[in-house]
Structure formats: structure tokens, C-alpha cells
Chains A and B, each alone.
Chain A
Amino acid sequence: MTEMVKKNASELDHAFRYEISQKVGAKSLLKCIQCGVCSSGCTVTEYVDLQPHRVVASCLLGLRKEVLNSNAIWTCSLCHRCTERCPKNVDYSFILALLRNLAVKEGKIPKEYSGTVVTIYENGYVVPYTGGLKTNIDRRRTRMGLPELVPPNLDEIRFIIDETGLGGLAKKKEDK
């Protein structure tokens, strides 16, 4: 459980709920009735500082900073049971992905998540596939009689990553 947050009305970000709900699939945020079904079935419910229904309540209240700084949004295993069981069809796991996107825009990215896009930018795959590693993988595949892989044109992959706004992160090496 988090410690008590005391805020004056003027400190709340009333537009936060609409920042999230305007995205396709996230309108459902506004339908939450705080029943707590999402939290009772949540795989990681005992590990988070804010349980799913409280994340939703905090979004609706306008506690932008508290939500985007919580460990809850990154601890989720995306098992989708919350979305599946919600009686009001609130798509919590999708909303959570959007909350992560917002946190990323503010530069809050756990290292466990930032590495993936670097690897894809460099290899087209989420597994390193260059130099000696590629030679070993190819040799193993040939031994098993598997067809040769034709990897993607990296210029295309990099173009998409740059164009959609992740280029900066993708080019940032682990040395930061």
C-alpha cells in the first residue's frame, strides 16, 4: 500500500482521464465502478504499490504524477485477466499499456523495458543476430535442416522506429 497522498482540488489534473480515454480502446476507463474484480484476479496484486482498481481511480481523480510514478504500471505481467473479468468491460491491460507510453514520454522507463527496442533497431529481431552470434545461429539451424533466415531490411525497421518516435531511445546505448 502507498502512503496517504493529500492534495488540494487545484492540484489534480482533471484532463488526465481524457488524455487516456481519447485513445481507441481506452474509452472504457470512464465506465469503472470500482468493484475491484480486476484487483482480486490480478496475477501481481500482492506486489504492486497501487492495485488495478486504484490505478483506475487515481486516473479518474487526476493523480497523474502518482500513477505515472507508480511501480504498478510496470509490474503488471499483462496476463489480461483484469480485462477479461471486468463487468463493465474496462480494458485495464490496454489502458495500462497507454499509461506506460505516457510514462515513457516523460522519460520514466525501467531498464528491463528499454533494451528491447535497442535490440530490434540493431537486429530487426528481439534476439541479437549479427557477427559471431549470427554465424552460430545459422550453423545450428543448418545442422537441424532448417531453412535459411532472410532477415528484414534494417533501413525499413529503423525508419518505422524513428518515424513513430522511439528513435532516440533505440539509439541510446546501455552506457547512459
Chain B
Amino acid sequence: MEYALFLGCTIPLKLPHLEKAFRDVAGILDVKLKEMEGVSCCPEPVSLQSLNMDTWVTLGARNLAIAEKMGLNILTICSGCYETLKTVSVLLAEDKEYLNKINGILKKIDYHYTGKTKVFHFVELFSQPEWLDKLKSLTVRPLDDLNLAVHYGCHLIRPSKIMQFDHPERPETIDRILKALGAKTIDFATKLECCGYCARLQEEIGENLVEQKMTELCELEEEVDALIAVCPACTTQYDRKEKIIARNKNKELDIPVLYLAEIMAIALGVELEDLSLTNRSVKPKKLIEKLTT
């Protein structure tokens, strides 16, 4: 199966090492990807949707129309893009009148969206049984000794009536992927808490949420080797804020944060030097030691 790869903005422009890790994984798993030329920001679900629903939906529909022209379904690597593109596709599938209105605007710039293109996040794809088997058989650096904490984030799984692929309060898909690679995933109280990145009005909301989760993970009896996230916003939120909180509050918070594709790339045998693993505030030194000794 071939997919139109929707990169979004944050990963390709600010965190290209995450894109690199994903492309390495896709290459090893033999997922065929086609570049999407001329796509814009998805657009970003929090502000654009808040400012004007029509702007959000029309820009999103333009991106979907590009994939439709390519005759392919979309594969996203960012939870924000996933939320926008999937919500837009569901909204427009449920409301023909709205679809006509949006197409009326798109027509003036020679685009047309019918609703054929489906939107997937790579978690959705790789957590299916046949892909889990493939992951198992292609693992060359098993994560056997690792204890991983998973952060699903909000926009990957909710609202479930739109996202429709994992349980909104007891998700399992990422745990399944990590277990297929040999790792142990842990259960913890704040697993489903929001990272707070999108609560822009008050900085302290995010700080408190990050502190809560990281403190819990550091105090667990079993040592946690990394927090695994799938959204660029969550990934940077935990990584940056953890270090700042540790400094300001004199706390020992030292759990590295990795993007799911990075830990997958490690297990699938990508050279560690090629992965920019030190490119973050909390370096995964111990994790690398565990994997190389």
C-alpha cells in the first residue's frame, strides 16, 4: 500500500530529526510514501479552529484534495495534523451542504474534494496485527531491558467518534507497538493526562501538568527509561519543561522524552549516530548505554 505522506510544519521545519527517524522506519518496513507537493499547514487545530471554523476546514480540505488528486490515502506523523485532517474529513462526510459550501470556495482555486481520501496516523497503521508481526520479525535491537512510559496525548485518540481507532480512555495501540519491539510498558496514574501545550493562556497549566507526570514517573519503584510520545507538541513540551521545572524547583527530573518513531528506529537497527538522540534537553544517556552494552 502506498500513502501520501503529510508532514505538517512543526516536524519538517523545527524537528526534522523526528521526520528522519520516521522515514528510516518506513523504509525498513517497506511502506511506500509519496511526497505531497504544495500542501500547507494542516492547519493547526487549536488556533485556526478557534479563530474561524470555515478557514480551518477549507485549508484542511485543500490539503485533502491534493491527496485525492494523487489517488492516495494520507499518512500523518503528527497528532495535530491527524486531528485536523480527520475531523475535516468526518465533518464534510456528515454534512453535504457544508461540503458544497467549502467546494464552492475551493473551486475558485481549482481544487475539488469529494471525500474519498482516508487519513491515517502511523500509530493506527503499525498497531494492526500484521504490522506488529512484521515489527517483531524485523527487530534487530530488541528493547528487552527497557521500561517505557507511553504518553498518548489528547488529539491522537479523542474525540473517539471522529478519530475512531483506539479507546479514548484506555488506549493500547502504542503499548502494542512497543511490546512488539520487546519493551515493557508501564502502567501509571497520569498516563492519560494532557501535556498542557495547547492551554496557551496560562503557562502554569502546562508547567503543573508536566511536573505532575514527570514527578510520578521519577518516583515509581521501577526505573523508567523514557517517556514515549507521538505528537511534536507533547514531545517538546515534556522535554523542555521537565528541565526548566527541575532547575526552578530543585527537583531531580531526568526522564528522556523520545518520539515513537525514534525508539522504533532504534529497535529496527538504525545506526544510533544517525538519530540525533542527544538533540533534546534531557539526554537519553542511560538508555543508550543499556542498548549498547
Contact = CB atoms under 8 A, between A and B. Distances in A.
B46 interface: yes
Contact of A44 (B49, B159, B197, B199): B199
Interface string A9-53: 000000000000001110000000000000000011001000000
A79 B108 contact: no
A131 interface: no
A76 B199 contact: yes
A157 B20 contact: no
Contacts of B17: 144
A57 interface: no
A25 B105 contact: no
A75 interface: yes
B16 A78 contact: no
A85 to B, nearest CB: 8
Nearest to A73: B50
Contact of A160 (B37, B59, B198): B59
B286 interface: no
Interface stretch (B6-14, B118-126, B139-147): B6-14
Contact of B202 (A47, A101, A145): A47
Contacts of B59: 120, 157, 160-161
A145 B20 contact: yes
A109 B55 CA distance: 16
Contact of A117 (B19, B47, B108): B47
Nearest to B200: A112
Nearest to B33: A147
Q: How large is the interface on A (under 10, 10 to 19, 20 to 34, 35 or more residues)?
A: 35 or more
B205 interface: yes
Contacts of A61: none
A146 B16 CA distance: 8
Contact of A77 (B12, B199, B276): B199
Contact of A43 (B10, B47, B199): B199
B194 A164 contact: no
Contacts of B209: 43
Interface of B: 7, 9-10, 12-14, 16-17, 19-20, 23, 35, 37-41, 43-55, 58-59, 62, 91, 94-95, 98, 105, 108-109, 154-155, 158-160, 168-169, 193-194, 196-202, 204-205, 209, 276
Given A43-B205, A84-B158, A149-B13, 13 more contacts: A24-B95, A25-B91, A71-B201, A79-B198, A80-B158, A101-B50, A113-B51, A115-B47, A117-B55, A146-B23, A149-B7, A164-B54, A165-B55
Interface of A: 23-25, 43-44, 47, 71, 74-81, 83-84, 91, 93-94, 97-98, 100-101, 104, 109-110, 112-117, 120, 124-127, 129, 137, 140-141, 144-147, 149-153, 155-157, 159-161, 163-166, 169
19 contacts: A25-B91, A43-B196, A47-B204, A71-B201, A75-B202, A77-B194, A77-B196, A110-B200, A113-B46, A113-B51, A116-B44, A116-B48, A117-B51, A126-B41, A140-B16, A150-B38, A155-B109, A156-B109, A159-B108
